[in-house]
Amino acid sequence: MTVWIAIGLTVAGCYLLKLAGLLVPAGTLERPLVQRLSALLPVALLAALTAQQTFSTDSALVLDARGAGIAAAALALVLRAPLLVVVAAAVAVTAGVRALGG
> Which residues within the stretch 34-93 sit at the binding site for other proteins (CB under 8 A)?
34-56, 58-61, 65-66, 69-70, 73-74, 77, 82-84, 86-93
Single-letter amino acid, residue 75: L
Among residue numbers 7 through 26, which ones bind other proteins (CB under 8 A)?
7, 9-11, 13-15, 17-24, 26
Q: How far is the CB of 43 from other proteins (least distance, A)?
A: 5
Q: How far is the CB of 71 from other proteins (least distance, A)?
A: 10
Residues 93/68, Cβ–Cβ less than 8 Å: yes
For other proteins (CB under 8 A), the number of binding residues is 76
Number of CB atoms found within 10 A of residue 56's CB: 14
Q: What's the sign of the alpha-carbon dihedral 82, 84, 87, 88?
A: negative
Q: How far is the CB of 93 from other proteins (least distance, A)?
A: 7
Residues 68/35, Cβ–Cβ less than 8 Å: no
Q: How far is the CB of 101 from other proteins (least distance, A)?
A: 12
For 61, the enclosing helix (H) or strand (E) is strand 60-61
